[in-house]
A = this chain, B = another copy of it.
Amino acid sequence: MPLTQTTRHKLETVSTATITTALFKRGLRRQMIQDVQPLDPAKPTMVGEAFTLRYIPAREDLNPITVFQDRSHPQRKAVEECPPGAVFVIDSRKDARAASAGAILVTRLQMRGAAGIVTDGGFRDSAEIARLDIPAFHHRPSAPTNLTLHQAIDINVPIACGDAPVFPGDVIVGDADGVVVIPAHFADEIAAEAVEMTAFEDFVTEKVKEGRSILGLYPATEERTRTEFAAWRKERGR
């Protein structure tokens, strides 16, 4: 169930807040990757299918600096295999004491057309990554090389990230509020519903800015609200 261009574009226009409400209505309450933030909050909304990397704690004898000379080291291999349009999601066990990745790898992902990168740990070279043309989300900056604490062990398997389950192919959306995981088979309907909800929220915001009370307006329990919203949509073609 690959992510369609239509759904991708819809999701680029809605917020993670709206998406979590749509998921909540379907009984999904744990899809937010907890406690990650954008390195550059001014970047546009990130949307893409999850391509995952799993770390375990680094055993010292298996993780000398020389391991990267192996072309098939999972971290490097994953970066070269992440498909264009995908979001690279790393399970760092919420441990930001060493880096999940640095600017060179993130630059490579950008060049390969990845849609973004997320870790529940931290990135090194964080100022440089913030200036790249690819959205990146982490818990906090972290300079130490990933070999200090993280050993890449699995590519594209189901993982935990920030207490959320992430399956390869799930649709990942990120904005200033953080990153949410939409189960792949829900992506189209969530996107459609979120677009509808966003139209209504924009209408409500306008009314509230005009001085209207939220009672009867949000949610639209008064008939008047529903009528006005219908007119508003027509007028704006939304």
Contacts and interface: CB of A to CB of B under 8 A. Distances in A.
A213 B60 contact: no
A217 to B, nearest CB: 9
11 contacts: A15-B125, A16-B124, A17-B124, A25-B65, A30-B59, A56-B160, A71-B221, A107-B209, A125-B177, A127-B176, A141-B177
Give the number of times this chain occurs in the complex, counting copies: 6
A113 B102 CA distance: 33
A231 interface: no
Contacts of A201: 104
Contacts of A26: 61
Given A24-B147, A29-B144, A126-B176, A183 B107 contact: no
A48 to B, nearest CB: 18
Interface of A: 15-17, 19-21, 24-32, 34-35, 37, 41, 56-61, 65, 68-69, 71, 76, 79-80, 93, 95-97, 99, 102-105, 107-108, 111, 124-127, 140-145, 147-148, 151, 153-154, 157-160, 163-165, 175-178, 180, 183, 201, 204-205, 208-209, 211, 213-216, 218-219, 221
B159 A56 contact: yes
Contacts of A41: 127
Given A20-B124, A69-B219, 11 more contacts: A20-B143, A20-B145, A25-B65, A27-B27, A28-B60, A28-B61, A32-B143, A35-B96, A59-B165, A126-B176, A141-B178
Contact of A205 (B20, B68, B104): B104
A103 to B, nearest CB: 7
The 5 closest A-B pairs by CB, nearest first: A127-B176, A17-B124, A143-B177, A16-B143, A20-B144
